Structure 1
Amino acid sequence: MTIPSSAVTYSATAPAGGLYMNARSNQNLGSPQVVMTSTSGLAELVTWTPLLSVAYPGGAAICTFSGTITISVA
């Protein structure tokens, strides 16, 4: 069984280190999403704590699932 990526949400929690940082919570990962933005336009060192949530589908097998999350910075 496959759990679709649209059943996964990502939140950037506890942002720290940057001025004018905006975290976007509960981004559905069915497609690429922006989870953190800066309105300062400056290069900054910023950290946050990722939080993944999976909506486990009813009737899904009880087993181990795996997946890959790719994070890029632009």
Structure 2
Amino acid sequence: MKDVLIQWPHGQQTRCCAGKDWLQAAREAGFSIPTGCLGGSCGACEIDVNGKTIRACIATVPASKSGELTVELATDPYW
């Protein structure tokens, strides 16, 4: 799989292979994404990738034509 440059919040960047679990990619970058159900139904792990909301517990890092992805982490005071 091809490497993707991920632009994390606060200007941090990492590279990882497309197809890697988002939770693992975030952990390796030093970010903690909260999880609740680990099955995709609770929404605790939602992140925005290039403006599209995904559930990190059931999604993988996609390939990108530009080779870059921008991630925004949701902040939910209940998680």
* TM-score category of the 2 structures, normalised to the smaller one: under 0.3
**Which structure: larger Rg?**
1
TM-score, length-scaled by structure 2: 0.25
Give 1 or 2: higher helix fraction: 2
TM-score, length-scaled by structure 1: 0.26
